[in-house]
A and B are shown apart, each in its own frame.
Chain A
Amino acid sequence: MIPHSIVPTALSQVSRRRFLLGGLAFGSMGALASHGLTNTPKASDVTDFLILSEFLTGRKNLNFTLARRYYLGLRDQFPDLPDRITNLSNDIHASGTQTMDDYLSHGPTPDARSTATTIVSAWYLGVVGEDPKKKMIAYSDALMFQAVAGALVVPSYGAGPLAWGSRPEPYMTFKEAPDEH
């Protein structure tokens, strides 16, 4: 059993924005740097971060509330995050690629790759930053567990009384192309 997210999902605002911008919507990213560092980012900053994160992780349904927390957590530890996001977005845009795998094959700039790794690490591990400023954002919703879901539980969220024994079959399978379901 996959633990249910404790965070409400998919604000209508996100889907609306995604609809309006269509596809890879990095149009507003360039404006991020000028927003200044406030504790309350504009919803559009978070939405842009969410859309970027979905591209970087190859996921379609990332959570808006988590995106906001990752964005704030990362910006807290990396004050130049808005600039880095702008540069990464520009690099993706310039590559003309439609998926993360294509973008990686195309060859990101070292800076863009570094920013992408920082953002992906946060979503996968559920943690932002380095020691001693490591901060937990999500545990059971960390994306790393999706790679083994169906086969392994998130530790401390067991499958139920004596509920194991059959051959593990992860939901996520890999052939030539990722086959996520």
Chain B
Amino acid sequence: MSTENLHADVVIVGSGVCGALIGAQLAKAGKSVLILEAGPRVKRRDIVETYRDAPVKLSLANMKLQGAGSPFPSLPHAPSTYGDYLEQKGPVKYNTSYLRVVGGTTWHFGSALWRLLPSEFKLNSLYGRGRDWPIGYDDLEKYYGLAEMELGVSGTDDQDESGAGGSPSPARAAPYPMKQVPLTYMFRTLAEKLSAGGYNPVWEPHGRATRPYNQRPVCAGNNNCNPVCPIGAKYDGSMHCDIAENRGAVIMPNAVVYKLEDDDTGRIQALWFKRPDGSEHKVTAKVFVVAAHTIETPKLLLMSKTRHSPNGIANSSDMVGRNLMDTTGISVTMKTRDPVWPGQGPTELLVFNKREGDFRRNAAQYKIKVRNTTPVSQYAATLLEQGVLGTELDRRIQELSAHTLAWAVDFEVLPDPANRVTLSKTKFDALGLPVPSLYYDLNDYWHAGTELAMQDLNRFSQLLDAEITKKNMKFENRQHPSGTTIMGDNPRDSVVNRDCRAHDHPNLYIAGTSVMSASTCMNPTLTAAALSIRIAERIQREI
């Protein structure tokens, strides 16, 4: 044991968007803030160079290659999820990929930043499924607005984001901080043709700057949002790490937190972290925030078995790690008669949402998106494997690139206590800490959603004069994890209360998508960011 003792007003576990937002806000308020990050610091230029130099380019558009490589580091004390770090125990693989580096997983996110709709806080009372949130849209509207300012969101005002083509929704107190990016030829063409068939195109709000924003330049269409924006036009958590540090917060990389300690009153007294050399260090604080990602947060709580909390910290309900959700999806590839040219501009923008309606009693809501990732290398490799040479090789690379549409659908997943994160009993990292063990399955509600989405996609193929060439119905993980420290009013079936404070511990907050009571089919980052700003406000009032 080390004799080093660290103390701060607030100690935050995890330097991703949520931890960094809270740290930045509390540092601005004059609080002493320590942020502990399991992974190392990374520099954008190094990640970009590693990406360009890699023989295998990892992309969300090529799910087959997940696990083949990532330009982000994998270190023994903070192994990359792109390898075999996660233990899979369930019928459906939960192969999510998060980053253990300063700045967190938003380094490689597509940057979709959606608000939830009012109805999405009330799934149970409206449709008899899943759970209601203990809070509603009105409770979060102000914080959504603040989060959009902090993260710098570009969006289309006055559209119905539910996808129903009605009046603008959800209601906004202020317009988006930045205007939408220009539409590409493909987006315009698809929107026009599918609108003619009665579908309502929705333009995704996202974190790419369309005017110089804080330190960020304007999006230059690098088409490389995942795995890394080469110029920092796209938001990522490292930007709030920089802000937090400039305001006096301390970020300590390569500090793997492995235990929280409580006392007989329920207050968290200290946490412990290990350095890569195995040395152990203690930190005391007035308030503790765990913002370590939906998989790592429950892992830490479950590892923290104490005299007063024998099932792990915050776990008197036995709900820590349970209700693991995602927006698990399917994908469909089409070949169009006319060239459409995906791959210009940013990697995503156009979606068709089906978020509201009575169908939700029986089937998952969903979002259909068209991938706009330059697919040239995949097609070239495939053609060469087929032995295509000569002029025909160039012609077919061009033809496949111009005429192939990659659709992907994201579905709502209901909270099920059986889907869960536990601690592996057999597999440990270099520090001797158990790796997360995941059990995941999907029910009839999800499958019913996929049938509805396939009807839409078949109709799309008619409207676009396109032929469906490939379907993948095999549970594609969408990297939108939620639910493992679920929010609720009842301490017997939830982990945190409506303020994201642990029911069991008055000075412990949990930040991140892990608190979400419902997954919805939408990207969860903005909701987690809004909740984080709200957490910081609560803490600021308390200390």
Contact = CB atoms under 8 A, between A and B. Distances in A.
B221 A162 contact: yes
A160 interface: yes
A104 B341 contact: no
Contact of B376 (A58, A152, A167): A152
Of B55, B339, B373, B387, chain A has the most CB atoms within 10 Å of the CB of: B55
Q: Taking chain B's interface residues, is the majority helix, strand, or loop, or is none over half, making it mixed?
A: loop
B204 to A, nearest CB: 16
B415 interface: no
Nearest to A172: B394
A134 B55 contact: yes
Contact of B210 (A58, A154, A162): A162
Given A125-B380, A144-B376, A145-B376, A163 B395 contact: no
Interface string A101-140: 1001000000001001100110011010000001110011
B370 to A, nearest CB: 15
Contacts of B221: 153, 158-160, 162-164
Nearest to A113: B387
Given A152-B341, A158-B223, A164 B182 contact: yes
B402 A156 contact: no
Contacts of A163: 220-221
A100 B395 CA distance: 14
Interface in B59-95: none
B222 to A, nearest CB: 4
Contacts of B345: 164-165
B3 interface: no
Contact of A152 (B51, B344, B389): B344
A178 B344 CA distance: 24
A163 B502 CA distance: 47
Contacts of B53: 136, 139
Contact of B222 (A124, A125, A157): A157
Nearest to B229: A156
Task: With a 10 A CB-CB cut-off, give which of B184, B343, B345, B390 has the most chain A CB atoms.
Answer: B390
A135 B55 contact: yes
A2 interface: no
A174 interface: yes
A155 interface: yes
Contact of B387 (A117, A124, A180): A117
B397 interface: yes
A165 B185 contact: yes
Contacts of B397: 144, 147-148
Contact of B389 (A56, A146, A147, A172): A56
B381 interface: yes
B230 interface: yes
Nearest to A137: B55
A124 B380 contact: yes
A147 B398 contact: yes
Interface in A54-99: 56, 58
Q: Which secondary structure dominates where chain A touches chain B?
A: loop
Contact of B384 (A121, A166, A178): A121
Interface residues on B, range: 35 or more
Contacts of A157: 222
Nearest to A114: B387
B55 A127 contact: yes
A157 to B, nearest CB: 7
Given A153-B223, A162-B219, A168-B185, A125 B377 contact: yes
Contacts of B402: 148, 151, 168, 170
A161 interface: yes
Nearest to A122: B384
B184 A165 contact: yes
Q: Most chain-B CB neighbours within 10 Å: which of A56, A58, A157, A165?
A: A165
A153 B55 contact: no
Given A58-B390, A127-B55, A136-B55, A152 B181 contact: no
A148 B384 contact: no
B393 interface: yes
B384 A124 contact: yes
A157 B376 CA distance: 14
Contacts of A117: 384, 387, 389
A84 B384 CA distance: 18
B52 A158 contact: no
Given A56-B389, A158-B220, A165-B182, A151 B56 contact: no
B519 interface: no
Contacts of B184: 164-165
Contacts of A120: 384, 389, 393
Nearest to A166: B185
B56 to A, nearest CB: 7
Contacts of B384: 117, 120-121, 124-125
B365 interface: no
B380 to A, nearest CB: 4
Interface of A: 56, 58, 100-101, 104, 113, 116-117, 120-121, 124-125, 127, 134-136, 139-140, 142, 144-148, 151-168, 170, 172, 174, 177-178, 180
Given A151-B344, A153-B344, A156-B51, 11 more contacts: A101-B391, A101-B392, A104-B389, A117-B387, A121-B384, A161-B218, A162-B182, A168-B185, A168-B344, A172-B398, A178-B394
Interface of B: 48, 51-57, 181-185, 210, 217-224, 230-231, 339, 341, 343-345, 373-374, 376-377, 380-381, 384, 387, 389-395, 397-398, 401-402
6 contacts: A155-B57, A156-B224, A165-B345, A166-B185, A170-B398, A174-B395
The 5 closest A-B pairs by CB, nearest first: A158-B220, A158-B222, A144-B380, A134-B55, A147-B397
